[in-house]
């Protein structure tokens, strides 16, 4: 039971980390797009 809980917890953390990474990556891309747009204008 303990091991199952630990695995589930670890899996949730992994998912959160991946989500965080994706969000930060998207944010960086958006910032790049914004800066490019301002440069073009």
pLDDT at 41: 55
Q: How far apart are CA 32 and CA 8, in angstroms?
A: 36
- The DSSP secondary-structure symbol of 41 reads -
Domain boundaries, the chain: 1-40
Mean pLDDT by 10 residues, the chain (41 residues): 84 92 93 83 55
Q: Which CA distances in Å does 28 have to 6, 19, 32, 37, 40?
A: 33, 14, 6, 14, 18
pLDDT at 24: 95
pLDDT at 40: 67
């Amino acid at each position: 039971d303990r091991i199952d809980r630990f695995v589930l917890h670890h899996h949730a953390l992994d998912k959160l980390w991946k989500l965080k990474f994706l969000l930060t990556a998207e944010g960086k891309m958006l910032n790049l797009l914004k800066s490019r747009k301002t440069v073009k204008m």
